[in-house]
Amino acid sequence: MIFEKELLDRCISCGYCLPACPTYRLTGEEASSPRGRITLMRALETGELDTADPTLTEQSSFCLGCRACEPVCPAGVRYGDLLEQWRDVQWQGGNRPWLARLLMAAVSLEWLLRLQGLVRRHARGARGGTHSLMLGCVERGLYPGVSRAVRRLVPGISVPRAQGCCGALHAHNGASAKGAEMAVALGKRLPGKVVTTAGGCAAHLATHLGRDRVREFGEWLVEVGHQPAGEVRVRGRRARVALQDSCHLRNGLGVTEEPRKLIAAVADYVELPGAGDCCGAAGTYSLLRPDDSRRVLAGKLDAIDAAALDFVVVVNPGCLRQLRQTLRKRRSGVRAIHLAELLAAARK
Ligand code: SF4
Ligand code: SF4
């Protein structure tokens, strides 16, 4: 058995999820929709098709894993779980993209994560706090300013040194058992509530550690009653700032209001059309399928430029990389920054 039977049986083929799916919106093809992919999964389960089938191969990879199909589904289909189970069999051996294999191997090397974090000077210190900041794998090397901003905002938060990757990357790339193992191991090393600045990691950790142990940074700040101080000003006026949601934070954990509330406390908040739609980063997707990633992103960049913004705020390192790089390449005047960086930049 490949899939949990109850999960696969839950889909009633109503099609409500089709308009919410970015890949269906791009192609208009049933096979590229959540319903179409569930039909393919059922064919795999019954043996009607096997993993060598080209449509299965293509659709298991074309799907962003954004889970926009979940909140709109009247039958409560947990598509994200189904996709993990699908890739666990579909992406084995040579079928797993070599780049995904390379990244999975790299984030499993804890010494490498620690070294790149130390070289890049991520936040350090403060032990014994009741909550722990998770440093992440990608973020501590690429965007160490995010954890430093968290420390400036919340000096008492613990930042344990010995921490590896949470395993989300494994879970999304055909190794869900290993991904679960890594999440549990990380949970044992981080005392108290695990606070993460990555929406994708928050959703993965919540699945394996329990929702109560895990908080995304913005939702945690609101929960503990943190009052953002000051405001962010640009050329003598209050900054205009929009949010790009993290798909897994929004669709997996249902967190949408908290980051908006925090932004509005220090700047003029602007709601972007399609703020909740995937930006095309989608974990490893922008690396594995760069052309499709750009197609998913295209309309969003136009909307960002049309909104006359100063900043677009993100709550996930993959989204930060995607938007920062593409906005720079486009010579846009809008800068992508993490929520923690925006709040830390507010001045009285
Ligand atoms: S996944 Fe949900 S919304 Fe989509 S077709 Fe199945 S039951 Fe309907
Ligand atoms: S996870 Fe995203 S891309 Fe994949 S089927 Fe669902 S809505 Fe479409």
pLDDT in tens, the chain (348 residues): 999 999 999 999 999 999 999 999 999 999 999 999 999 999 999 999 999 999 999 999 999 999 999 999 999 999 999 999 999 999 998 888 899 999 999 999 988 888 887 878 887 766 666 899 999 998 888 999 999 999 999 988 999 888 999 999 999 999 999 999 999 999 999 999 999 999 999 999 999 999 999 999 999 999 999 999 899 999 999 999 999 999 999 999 999 999 999 999 999 999 999 999 999 999 999 999 999 999 999 999 999 999 999 999 999 999 999 999 999 999 999 999 999 999 999 987
Same domain, 240 and 326: yes
222 Cα–ligand 2 center, Å: 29
CA of 38 from ligand 1 middle (Å) equals 9
- CB 80 near ligand 1, within 6 Å: no
Residue 246 Cα to ligand 2 midpoint, Å, equals 14
Among candidate residues 319, 308, 298, the one with its CA nearest the CA of residue 268:
308
**Residues of the domain holding 52:** 5-91
Residues 197 and 105 reside in one and the same domain: yes
Which residue lies with its CA nearest to atom 7 of ligand 1? 11
Q: Is 141 helix (H, G, I), strand (E, B) or coil?
A: helix
Ligand 1 centroid to Cα of residue 79, in Å, is 9
Ligand 1 lined by 15 (C-beta under 6 Å): yes
Q: Note whether residue 339 is domain-resident.
A: yes
What gap in Å lies between CA 178 and CA 194, rounded to an integer?
20
Per the CB < 8 A criterion, the answer to whether 272 and 314 are in contact is no
**108 and 209: one domain?**
yes
Give a yes or no: residue 109 inside a domain: yes
Q: Give the pLDDT of residue 54.
A: 96
Ligand 1 atom nearest to CA at 75: 7
Where residue 27 sits, what CATH number does that domain have?
Answer: 1.10.1060.10
Ligand 2: residues with CB < 6 A are 20-23, 34, 37, 63-69, 79
Beta strands at 233-234 and 237-238: parallel, antiparallel or unpaired: antiparallel
Instruction: Pull the structure tokens for residue 50.
Output: 């096997």
Which of the listed residues 91, 119, 138 is the one where a domain comes to its end?
91
Backbone torsions φ then ψ of 332, nearest 5 degrees: -75, 150
Q: What is the CA(26)–ligand 2 centre distance, in A?
A: 12
**The residue to which tokens 């208009």 are assigned:** 28
